[in-house]
Structure formats: structure tokens, C-alpha cells
Amino acid sequence: MSAYLRSLKQIFLFSLPIIAGQLGQMLFGIGDIIVAGRYSTEVLSALGIATAIFSPFLLIGTGITFAISPLKAKMIAQHKNVDALPGTTLLLALITGAVLSLLVVAAGFCVPLMGFEHPIERLVFDYLIICSVSLLPVMVFQVLKENLQAMEKTLFANGLILFFNLVNLAANVFFIFSLDLGIVGAAIATTLSRTLMALALYAHAVHVLNINRQVCVSTMLFIIRKGLPIGLNGLLVGLIFSLVTVLTGKMSVTASAANNILINVSSLTYMIPYALAGAASVKIARAHGNRDVAKITSYALATLSLGLLSASVMGLLFYAVPEKILALATGDPQVIQYGATLFFVGAIYQIPDAIQVTIQGCLRGIEITFRPMVYIFVGIWAVGFPAGCFFAYAKGMEAAGLWMGMAVGLTAVAIVNATLFIRVLWKHRDTSGAGNQCLQTCLETRG
């Protein structure tokens, strides 16, 4: 029990700055929307569409970087030389950032094919073309942040995210209103904030990391192989929410408004287990490097406990005071009444979502990333979405039915991920000292 409590304390303290940073990332978008909404409805609408188009590329890029901190933490635990990692990952950031930027530009030129009204079409195009450049500093910031996180240095990078929320807000006001640039101003503010944030972290990292010109191609390919499934995992989840938003928008204005509120609130609550998963991946990777199955198990249980605790608290709030939460975003009594039922299902959804994402972090720590991506695809698209359509249309539950389907799908994902994790540890548990070698052999053959 004492080992479990120590792990609980370590995961909790380690994850706090990461949670703050993740919430800060969410607030970036909220700040843009608040300022743009006060400028014009057209700009607000175009910004929402442009962000929806831009986000998948951002998810893939940042997802790739999530493989860096577990790899580096494991190498540190094994006393391996990590001098080539900063240079290798920075080159990876520049390559992937450039590729993703070009893809966003290509997506911008495809906007006319999407059937938007001409004024909206032009605004979306302008935002995407300018913001495409910001993927380069985003990727640089992310790889530096992951390198530092592997060393359990999280305060500065995550503190920067919170500080630059204020910079981004001020820049939005200046460019959008003072210079009257509209959505172009929003794009410039976002790109400028991301660039300054990356430069500030680089200036700090130079004194902490051994940044040099050493590059290891095999390490870069390993990070891409392990990180790309993480990025695609996030993309699959993001796409299902986009689809639910579209389908709910065709039901009624009330259903659409209530659904959008629940999505935004759930996105904020999701950041807690999501950050816990990031902390667990590093701690478990260190234990994996030391071939310490007991510590891997202890960290996993601690992470799952904290994830369930946060989900239970948020779920209880969703269930007990949905009207008060909804009233923060709307004064429409119909939306509040409809949303109260929707938030009840949202409360149920919190639990399987927290379980599956924290276990994914644990699996990431032992370098298993491909199977969780497959399980997410099957769980939410082959199980959850059909179940959601059944509840929504056959049973007349509308938006609540779609969320119920996602809860069913994520429950299936949580079960299979947990089964995979337990099976790997149980089969190769350390009973005589030889089990650790078996564990290493097994993990090297899994994905």
C-alpha cells in the first residue's frame, strides 16, 4: 500500500503543471472566440470553421511528439546517452511542421469546394493560409516541452502556455480591433503568440538540454512509428465529435446549442485525465527502462485512481447542477432544460472516457501505441457510433442518444485497453527476477 500511495503522490504532483498547461491550450481557442465574437458574427462563424479544419493537422503533429517523453525517460532510466535526442526531435519538428503547414495550405485551397457562402469562404481561406505557418513553432515548442517533461521539468513550459494566453488575448484585441484586421488579425495574433512561445521555451531549453547538431535517423523513425498512431488516435476522437456536432445541428437549434456547450465543458474536464496520462507515460517509461514491473503496476493504479476521481467529481457536478453549468453559457430556458438531460448522459460518459485515456497513457509508457489506435477506431466508429444512431433515432433520444453511444464505445475501448495492459504485466510479472527479461522481449514485439 505504501508503494501505491507514493506513486499516487508522485503522479499527482507531476501532473499538476501538465494539467495547467493543457487547460491553457484550451483557453487559447476560447480567447480567440471571445474576441472574434465581439467583432462580427461572420468572423466568429469563419473562425469556428477554420479551427475545425486546422485542428486535425494540429492533433496529428502534437500526437507524434507524445512519443518523445516516454522514449527519453526510458533511455535516462537505462543510463543511455540522450545527447542526440534534442537535435533529432527538433529536426523532426521542422520536417513535420513544414509538411503539415503545406497540407493546411492545400486544405485552404479546397475551401471553395466545401459550399460555404462567399464571404465566409474568403475569411476561412485567409485564416488557414496565415495560421499554417504557426505549425512550425507549435511543433518546436512541443518537442522541447516533451524533452523537458522526460526529465520531469514541467513548470516553465506549462507556465509559458498560461502566460501566452494573456499575450494572445492582447494581440487579438490589438490586431482585430485596433488595426481592424478581423480574422486576419486573429490569425496573425495566434501565429505571433505561438512563435514567441516557441522562442521563449528554446531560450530556456538551451540552458537545460544539450541541444546540438547530432541527429539519429533511426530514433526519428522510431518516434514517428510510435507517435503517429497517437496522433491518429486523437484525430479519430476529434472526428467523431465533429460528426456528432453536425448531426445534432440537424436536429434543432436547441439541441445544437446544448450539445456545443457540453462538448466545450467536456473538453475542459477531459484535460485532467489527459494530463494524467502524459504524466503516467513518463513515470511508467522510467520504470519500464528499469524493468520494474511492480512500479509500472503501482503507477498505473495511481493514475487510474486519480483519473476516476476527477471523472467522478466532474460527473457528479454534471448530474447535480447541470442547470447552473448551462446558465454560465446561455440564458435560454429551452437550452437549459434540454441540456440538463444531455448533461446527465455526459456525466455517465466521463467515467469510461477517463479510464480509456489514462490507460492509453500507461500503454504509451511501455511503448504500445498502435493497438490503442485500432481499439479507438473499432470502439467509437464500429461500436459507439452505430449504438449512438440507434439511441438517437430509433429510441428518440436525439443528442443524448449520440452521447450514450459514445459512452458505450469508450466503455468497450476502456475494457480492451485495460485487458491488454493487465495481460502484458500479468504474463510477464517479476516473480523470480527472470520475468523482467520476458517483459522486455514481449514489449519489443508489441506496438
Q: Is 344 exposed, middle or buried (0-12, 13-18, 19+ CB in 10 A)?
A: middle
Q: How confident is the model at residue 429 (pLDDT cuts 50, 70, 90)?
A: low
- Cα 147 to Cα 71: distance, rounded to the nearest angstrom: 10
Q: What is the DSSP string of 172-235?
A: HIIIIIIS--THHHHHHHHHHHHHHHHHHHHHHHTTTS---S---HHHHHHHHHHHHHHHHHHH
Higher-scoring residue by pLDDT: 375, 238: 375
In the Cβ-directed half-sphere of 132, how many Cα atoms lie within 13 Å?
19
- Cα 178 to Cα 267: distance, rounded to the nearest angstrom: 31
Instruction: Mark 413-443 as b/e (b = at least 16 C-beta within 10 Å).
Output: bbbbbbebbeebbeebbbeeeebbeebeeeb
The set of cell numbers assigned to 98 is 513544414
pLDDT of residue 27: 79
The set of cell numbers assigned to 416 is 480492451
The set of cell numbers assigned to 426 is 500479468
pLDDT, average across residues 197-226: 92
Higher-scoring residue by pLDDT: 266, 90: 90
pLDDT of residue 29: 74
Instruction: Mark 355-389 as b/e (b = at least 16 C-beta within 10 Å).
Output: bbbbbbbbbbbbbbbbebbebbeebbeebbbebbe
Distances (CA, A) of 150 to 29, 66, 107, 154, 359: 27, 10, 34, 9, 19
- Which segment of 9-18, 22-31, 431-440 scores lowest on mean pLDDT? 431-440
3-state secondary structure of 374: helix
- Which segment of 92-96, 243-247, 272-276 scores lowest on mean pLDDT? 243-247
Q: How confident is the model at residue 126 (pLDDT cuts 50, 70, 90)?
A: very high
| High-pLDDT (> 70) share of the chain, % | 95
- When computed from its CA atoms, the radius of gyration of the chain, rounded to whole angstroms, is 22
* 434 pLDDT higher than 60: no
Domain layout of the chain by residue ranges:
22-215, 226-447
| High-pLDDT (> 90) share of the chain, % | 56
Higher-scoring residue by pLDDT: 28, 196: 196
Higher-scoring residue by pLDDT: 372, 244: 372
pLDDT of residue 224: 93
- Cα 346 to Cα 261: distance, rounded to the nearest angstrom: 11
Which residue, among 204, 417, 248, 223, has the nearest Cα to 346 in the 3D structure? 248
* 444 pLDDT higher than 60: no
Query: 378-412: per-residue pLDDT in tens?
Result: 999 999 999 999 999 998 888 899 999 999 999 99
For residue 310, the tally of other CB atoms under 10 A from its CB is: 21
pLDDT of residue 1: 60
* 58 pLDDT higher than 50: yes
pLDDT of residue 388: 93
Query: 303-329: per-residue pLDDT in tens?
Result: 999 999 999 999 999 999 988 988 887
Q: How confident is the model at residue 235 (pLDDT cuts 50, 70, 90)?
A: confident
* 249 pLDDT higher than 80: no
Residues in the chain: 447
Query: 35-49: per-residue pLDDT in tens?
Result: 877 788 788 778 878
The set of cell numbers assigned to 258 is 446544448
Looking at mean pLDDT, say which of 174-183, 321-330, 420-429 comes out highest.
174-183
For residue 167, the tally of other CB atoms under 10 A from its CB is: 16
Query: 63-113: per-residue pLDDT in tens?
Result: 999 999 999 999 999 999 999 999 999 999 999 999 999 999 999 998 888
pLDDT of residue 250: 76
Q: How confident is the model at residue 447 (pLDDT cuts 50, 70, 90)?
A: low
Query: 288-299: per-residue pLDDT in tens?
Result: 888 888 899 999
345 contact partners, CB below 8 Å, separation of at least 6: 400, 403, 404, 407
16 contact partners, CB below 8 Å, separation of at least 6: none
